[in-house]
Amino acid sequence: MSTMNNQYQALSTLEGIDPADCRKVMSNYDSFMNRVQRKVIMQPFIKHIRSAEKSYRKEDEVREKKSLIRAMNIIGSDKIADEDLREEVLRDYVTGTYLTSEKIKMRLQTLGKKES
């Protein structure tokens, strides 16, 4: 969790700097800030996907489902797009293809059906 705290601290420090001064030195300041913010947003999502994968390998469907629900909540609240998932080179641990929000939903549906 210290990596996450460090990222939040870095983002907080960067936001405290005068953007006008930064733009004089850095021509791509806005792009840089967007990338840093996206990284901070993606970390909890990645953590939940990794947890879901670990649970899948252990055949713990309850924990896998909880982790996937948490990941989907992050997608919904932070507006993470499938392009963001592709940029992080995240793969669906069931199929091995690139991860998308639709694949997470499909996996959740599959897990939901198994409980019935």
Can you give the pLDDT at residue 116? 39
Can you give the pLDDT at residue 79? 73
Tokens for 76? 């919904």
Can you give the pLDDT at residue 3? 64
Please tell me whether the overall predicted TM-score, pTM, comes out greater than 0.75 for this model: no
Helices (H), 17-81: 19-25, 29-57, 61-78
Smallest CA-to-CA distance from 111 within 67, 74, 80, 75 is with 67
Smallest CA-to-CA distance from 84 within 105, 71, 100 is with 100
Can you give the pLDDT at residue 4? 64
- Positive or negative, the Cα torsion across 30, 2, 12, 37? positive
Residue showing tokens 């896998």: 64
User: What b/e sequence results for 66-91 when a residue is b if at least 16 CB atoms lie within 10 Å of its CB, and e otherwise?
Assistant: bbbebbbebbeeeebeeebbeebebe
pLDDT (tens place) for every residue of the chain, 116 residues total: 466 677 777 777 777 777 776 766 677 777 777 878 888 888 899 999 999 999 999 999 999 999 999 999 999 886 788 888 888 889 999 999 999 999 999 999 999 876 53
Q: How many domains does the chain have?
A: 1
Residue 77, domain extent: 2-115
